[in-house]
Structure 1
Amino acid sequence: MEECCSTKSQKEHNHHEGHDHDHDHGHSHDTEGKSVFQMFLPAILSFAMLSAGIILDHSVKPDWFAGWIRLVWYLIAYIPVGLPVLKEAFESIKNGDVFSEFFLMGIATVGAFAIGEYPEGVAVMLFYSVGEVFQAMAVTRAKTNIKALLDQRPDEVTVLCDGKPQTVKAENVNIGDIIQLKSGEKLGLDGELLSETASFNTSALTGESKPDTKTKGATVLAGMINLNTVSQVKVTTAYKDSKLSRILEMVQNATSQKAPTELFIRKFAKIYTPIVVFLAIGITLLPYFFVGNYEFRDWLYRALVFLVISCPCALVISIPLGYFGGIGAGSRKGILFKGSNFLDVLATVQHVVMDKTGTMTEGVFKVQEVKFSDAVNKNEILKFVNALESNSSHPVATAIHEYVGEIDHAIKLENIEEISGQGLKATVNGKELLVGNFRLMDTFGIRYDLNPQSIVYTVIAVAYDNNFAGYFTIADVIKPDARFTIDALKSLGVRTTMLSGDKSSVVKHVAGALGIQEAYGDLLPEDKVNKVKEIKSKKQTVAFIGDGVNDAPVVALSDVGIAMGGLGSDATIETADVVIQDDRPGKIPMAINIAKQTKRIVWQNIVLAFTVKAVVLILGAGGLATMWEAVFADVGVALLAILNAVRIQRMQF
């Protein structure tokens, strides 16, 4: 009992979950797990004290509200919002980052207190803190969107302990434990199927809604839903290491892959902030040598105004938040971006190259037409073919079985033989039955009066008793939104090319039906690589869309690799830059649109921040802007930038 249900310390799990996404900026960590009221409480207290202080200063004007009482009043107003920022500034200095925005806000507000401008000092810190809370809320909202979409793992599972079912928290289950999975229940951990057979809905992982039947010993993954009988699964991977957990972590850590704009702003802030500090010192001291009626207090005030205005928090907050909003908006739509840099690349894509099977088509073969000679009993031959094909696991066999129906077990097949690369041979009622391609007909000298090359689709020829009986045509079904996808890409000015290993006539037929500009069939993986190299040599930004496993070399070569519904595969997670979770090609133009909107919003924020700051900086240095204008230039712009960045999560794509 102890062994199969032993509980691990939850501390490690909580640490792991709570720090899945380590946001780059500020003390928003402190807001983790707090309610909105708790997050705003310090600002509310500070605002109440500040408002009361301003009323006492300008309206009531009591005699007692002066000297040290006034100072203490404003200090009490300052502490709830100022102390966390000063603490962050101290921590940053300890870690070798002296010129952080916390340091700027700290010296500006402490300086304001030093020259007796108490209300301004409190106001700057108050509005800065409100901006921080809004930023933290925006990040939390984006994280929640991602978690709600991706975290398909159930919290609890039923573990067999000494043969008895017991409900246990999923993170406490050990490798080797046996999970009992009821019908309709979702698997919580990766494992090995112990039951003889079980059918699973794998749509959470692959986007494929068709049930997937697994046999004993097969690997089953967290997020799969058991569809029929009670099954047993032996756990092979710890909860936090399951594929689904890794995908969740991958998306939440997506902002570690920085976009060039983001990297530039970070470098810029590191150089810009110390320059600003030294300029502020210059504004305070240099006028002594050039101005006749130099007043230290006035020039210090101007320098403090300059410091507040020049604080880069609008940029440092809003740009990562813009990208994180884009990643969150994508996740909500079933599009997983592995980093903000891929949003930047997608926004500039000029050429989309795609695979055919499983990307623009369902990857499920269906019988299109059946043409048999009048000289044969069509129904009888169909039953023979169905019985023979039941010996094959090829998709073609599945298509024939779906078309014909149940297998007639009364049919006695003898001498079953597979002729490699050609098809199947057997004896039925003492007569030879051949099912395969036309090469098989040629091998056995069967005569037929048609040209196989004139048929677009894959052809399955049938011969019985040394006579050609007829043929099936089998084709992959085009996805319902495939045509819309190509039209949407064209409207975005993106060129399209289809590359496939399938028969050229089939590839050209599908490309023609969808309006794809170029199509190439009969390609090996290395041929696909050469084609993509050829397109890239024309200096075009290329996105490749495939299954992320067979097409790994091309995915790696393209500027951005997009995988269709391959979440069950390690190779997909490793090689693709973007994953379309539900297998729908219509998400490709949507992903490009999200990327374009994200980039637009990021640049809007950059232009807004620089323009407002430049104007108010000039006014501040000339003594025309007060600390209140400085607060607007800093915190007001930061809030506007945050609201603009959050906007992307509300957009309809």
Structure 2
Amino acid sequence: MVEGNTVSCCDVAHPQSGAHSRATDRSVFGLFIPAIISFLLLLLGLAFDQDWLPRPTFFTGWLRVAWYGIAYLPVGGPVIRQMFQAFAKHDVFSEFTLMTIATLGAFFIGEYPEGVAVMLFYSVGENLQGLAVRRAKGNIKALLDQRPDKVTVLEADTPRTIPAQQATIGMTIRLKPGEKLALDGELLSDRASFNTAALTGESVPVTKGEGDTVLAGMINLNTVAEVRITTAYTDSKLSRIIALVQDSTAQKAPTELFIRKIAKIYTPIVVLLAVLITVAPALVVTDYVFSDWLYRALVFLVISCPCALVISIPLGYFGGIGAASHHGILLKGSNFLDTLAHIRHVVMDKTGTLTEGVFQVQDAVIVGPYDPQTTLQRISALASHSTHPAAMAIHAYIGTTGPTPPLEQVTETAGLGMAATIEGKQLLVGSFKLLDRFGITYSLDATPTGTLVAAAYGGQFVGYFDVADEIKADAEDTIRQLKALGITPTMLSGDRTAIVQAVTAQLDIASAYGDLLPEDKAKKIVEMKAAGHRVAFVGDGVNDAPVIALSDVGIAMGGLGSDAAIETADVVIQDDHPSKIPVAIRIGRATRRIVWQNITMAFAVKAIVLILGAGGLANMWEAVFADVGVALLAIGNAIRIQKMRF
């Protein structure tokens, strides 16, 4: 776009106050001052040129040329400057070059008013496009960055207001009803309800209890709450969301990259065709008039300007990213919108993805020659070193009732379990596959109903825990929506096959595999991709990170999900609701549909007007109206995705 005379598509407006809004209004008015000056001078020039008005004696010859030249400079100067800046970057055939050649060519053949008018309308159109882009990006950022600038902290039970960025980990924040939380923390109050729309897109209140994690952007609803800060301002989950959305435009979609490549080839071809339109007719037309054919070539150049594509396509993808963010879905690049649109297989982990991931011990069986209470304490001590939901449930179930010998050589193997040395003997806590790996024999006296966690000490089987999980409330609807989209759902789990089959029967998933280690899951994904399928994998644990990285689109649950899974994933679902998976796919498909609508519309209109211009049936005014009009229509269509319901 025109530097100094238009808004860069990377600018972001974020009005936070009346003063800022007024300043923005002034900046928008200032944006159009050069165009206003050119417009007034053009109107006067056109009035002076009319035969039915008294013609000023001075408005002839070089003075007339100079008048229109002065009218041209406010809008044409920045374009010419941009053209030379593009030359310095070895970009000879830019849109600035096309507009400069076309308008200076109009001056060359004596069509001064048209030269000014074309550049004027081009400048106004670029300004309007820039404002549309800035407004779209500003809406997204305003939606996300809803943190207050100041917080009330308690120091010796005395409240004090400080800038939010100065608040440090360990401080206590007092949050009044209706206030937004500025930093992530741990709730110290017994209970509080929050609106989480800034993070998840869901306005349904969420009730938190003492010790629960609360995040920046949440709105306290009905009671004074106290929160202990656990994360720095710049490291909060909301800060990471904003950074992800802003950085996501760096990852370009294949369609966007393709159009950019086409534009680099398309523009020099257009210039060559314009030259041929000017000179080739001299060889075949008997009444050839150079100025007439040059005029047709100039019209051809004006309409060939690719700004509608160059602007509207990136804005379409950014609109898709913004729509996803509004629903609590973070995409790390616009390229993943294209991939989501082509997904036909969604593979899901069980625990934490389709189930709550909040385990409770249903039964504990302790056997062997050791004191049962001592054995439980040893198991609890080792379980406390893991973040796996089953291990945390066991530690909470047993608790800590006495001193435990120190643990040595603590290790954890993804998908298997943990090992440590206590009093010179090895303690194992994990799946029965872990016991098999160490050659430990065992027997079960009952049929378990949930996930089994086995334990062995000193080379002997010492018992197991029956740990149960619950299916998420929206899991069944998720599977139903995926099937309606023509997508095949598959479950891969490290849990026992019997439990996996029970879950899949309830959710109506036809394809499921249990008793899988992380490397087994990876092999399944490789097999599906080798069969030509586009695969999305959804998981939440550390052991899911390799499979997430291997899939075409890796999706992580951002609430309970491990940092490894979230960092590896291409898409992050903030609220852990699996029903957001089909939402993400619908957004990807809608974005791709809108982008291709813009491409088709731009090429169709340009092709028609290019043919009319080359045939002398369209003048330069009509060409610039067609070009700017198509660009604005394409931008309006791109912005539409942010208003859609998914």
TM over 0.5, yes or no?
yes
Residue equivalent to 1:579: 572
How far off its partner does 1:417 sit?
11
Q: Does residue 645 of structure 2 align to residue 648 of structure 1?
A: no
Residue equivalent to 1:62: 54
Checking the alignment, whether the CA contact within 8 Å between 2:560 and 2:576 is kept in structure 1 is no
Within 5 Å, give how 1:337-416 maps onto structure 2: 337-365=331-359
Residue equivalent to 2:496: 503
Residue equivalent to 2:531: 538
* Aligned mates of 1:572, 1:251 — CA distance in 2: 18
Q: Percent of aligned positions with the same letter in both sequences?
A: 60
Q: Does residue 605 of structure 2 align to residue 612 of structure 1?
A: yes
Q: Which of 408, 432, 447 pairs up with 1:452?
A: 447
Within 5 Å, give how 1:624-639 maps onto structure 2: 624-639=617-632
Q: Does residue 361 of structure 2 align to residue 328 of structure 1?
A: no
**Equivalent position amino acid for 1:541 in 2:** R
Residue equivalent to 2:470: 477
**Equivalent position amino acid for 1:283 in 2:** I
Residue equivalent to 1:259: 253
Q: 1:637 to 1:389 in 2, by over 3 A?
A: same
Q: Does residue 89 of structure 2 align to residue 95 of structure 1?
A: yes
How far off its partner does 1:627 sit?
0.7
Report how many residues are paired: 572
Q: Which of 291, 294, 297 pairs up with 1:297?
A: 291
Q: 1:98 to 1:400 in 2, by over 3 A?
A: closer
Residue equivalent to 1:491: 484
Give the TM-score taking structure 1 as reference length: 0.73
Deviation by residue 1:240-296 (Cα, 9 ceiling, x = unmatched): 565543432221121211111111111111122222223323333343444433322
Residue equivalent to 1:119: 113
Checking the alignment, whether the CA contact within 8 Å between 2:494 and 2:514 is kept in structure 1 is yes
- Structure 1 stretch 558-567 or stretch 579-588: which is displaced more? 558-567
Checking the alignment, whether the CA contact within 8 Å between 1:201 and 1:212 is kept in structure 2 is no
* Aligned mates of 1:336, 1:31 — CA distance in 2: 19
Checking the alignment, whether the CA contact within 8 Å between 2:187 and 2:225 is kept in structure 1 is no
How far off its partner does 1:127 sit?
2.9
**Equivalent position amino acid for 2:622 in 1:** E
* Aligned mates of 1:621, 1:446 — CA distance in 2: 87
Q: Which runs of 5+ in 2 are unaligned?
A: 15-23, 364-375, 411-415, 418-429, 433-439, 455-463
Deviation by residue 1:298-354 (Cα, 9 ceiling, x = unmatched): 122111111101111111111111111111111122111111111111111010001
Residue equivalent to 1:524: 517
Deviation by residue 1:127-169 (Cα, 9 ceiling, x = unmatched): 3233323332332233234323432543234579999976443
Checking the alignment, whether the CA contact within 8 Å between 1:205 and 1:565 is kept in structure 2 is no
* Aligned mates of 1:474, 1:246 — CA distance in 2: 34
How far off its partner does 1:496 sit?
0.7
Residue equivalent to 1:281: 275
Within 5 Å, give how 1:531-610 maps onto structure 2: 531-547=524-540, 549-566=542-559, 570-610=563-603
**Equivalent position amino acid for 2:351 in 1:** T
Checking the alignment, whether the CA contact within 8 Å between 2:359 and 2:469 is kept in structure 1 is yes
* Aligned mates of 1:138, 1:322 — CA distance in 2: 12
Checking the alignment, whether the CA contact within 8 Å between 2:173 and 2:229 is kept in structure 1 is yes
Deviation by residue 1:388-425 (Cα, 9 ceiling, x = unmatched): 999986967998999x9xx9x9xx9899999x999xxx
* Aligned mates of 1:59, 1:514 — CA distance in 2: 81
Give the TM-score taking structure 2 as reference length: 0.74
Query: Which secondary structure state, in structure 1, belongs to the residue aligned with residue 468 of structure 2?
Result: strand
How far off its partner does 1:228 sit?
7.9
* Aligned mates of 1:336, 1:322 — CA distance in 2: 16
Checking the alignment, whether the CA contact within 8 Å between 1:544 and 1:560 is kept in structure 2 is yes
**Equivalent position amino acid for 2:494 in 1:** G
* Aligned mates of 1:31, 1:133 — CA distance in 2: 14
How far off its partner does 1:107 sit?
1.8
Q: 1:333 to 1:605 in 2, by over 3 A?
A: same
**Equivalent position amino acid for 2:634 in 1:** A
**Equivalent position amino acid for 1:502 in 2:** D
* Aligned mates of 2:443, 2:344 — CA distance in 1: 50
**Equivalent position amino acid for 1:509 in 2:** A
* Aligned mates of 2:596, 2:292 — CA distance in 1: 36
**Equivalent position amino acid for 1:611 in 2:** A
Residue equivalent to 2:368: none
* Aligned mates of 2:552, 2:280 — CA distance in 1: 52
Query: Which secondary structure state, in structure 2, belongs to the residue aligned with residue 181 of structure 1?
Result: strand
* Aligned mates of 1:64, 1:186 — CA distance in 2: 66
Q: Does residue 141 of structure 2 align to residue 147 of structure 1?
A: yes
Query: Which secondary structure state, in structure 1, belongs to the residue aligned with residue 633 of structure 2?
Result: helix
Deviation by residue 1:77-115 (Cα, 9 ceiling, x = unmatched): 544433332232232223332221112112212222332
- Structure 1 stretch 274-283 or stretch 547-556: which is displaced more? 274-283
* Aligned mates of 1:228, 1:550 — CA distance in 2: 40
Residue equivalent to 2:17: none
Q: 1:292 to 1:40 in 2, by over 3 A?
A: same
How far off its partner does 1:562 sit?
1.0
Q: Which of 119, 122, 127 pairs up with 1:133?
A: 127
Q: Which of 162, 172, 181 pairs up with 2:173?
A: 181
* Aligned mates of 1:263, 1:148 — CA distance in 2: 28
How far off its partner does 1:541 sit?
0.3
Q: Which runs of 5+ in 1 are unaligned?
A: 1-21, 371-384, 423-435, 462-470
How far off its partner does 1:501 sit?
1.8
How far off its partner does 1:557 sit?
0.6
* Aligned mates of 1:211, 1:390 — CA distance in 2: 28
* Aligned mates of 1:93, 1:398 — CA distance in 2: 62
How far off its partner does 1:540 sit?
0.3
**Equivalent position amino acid for 1:531 in 2:** K
Checking the alignment, whether the CA contact within 8 Å between 2:152 and 2:175 is kept in structure 1 is no
**Equivalent position amino acid for 1:252 in 2:** Q
Q: 1:326 to 1:264 in 2, by over 3 A?
A: same
Checking the alignment, whether the CA contact within 8 Å between 2:303 and 2:610 is kept in structure 1 is yes
Checking the alignment, whether the CA contact within 8 Å between 1:366 and 1:475 is kept in structure 2 is yes
Residue equivalent to 1:19: none
* Aligned mates of 2:403, 2:114 — CA distance in 1: 95
Q: 1:177 to 1:155 in 2, by over 3 A?
A: same
* Aligned mates of 1:85, 1:315 — CA distance in 2: 19
How far off its partner does 1:55 sit?
6.0
**Equivalent position amino acid for 2:447 in 1:** P
* Aligned mates of 1:157, 1:146 — CA distance in 2: 24
Residue equivalent to 1:271: 265
* Aligned mates of 2:321, 2:51 — CA distance in 1: 50
* Aligned mates of 1:205, 1:303 — CA distance in 2: 53
* Aligned mates of 1:553, 1:279 — CA distance in 2: 52
Query: Which secondary structure state, in structure 1, belongs to the residue aligned with residue 357 of structure 2?
Result: strand
Residue equivalent to 2:311: 317
Q: 1:392 to 1:539 in 2, by over 3 A?
A: closer
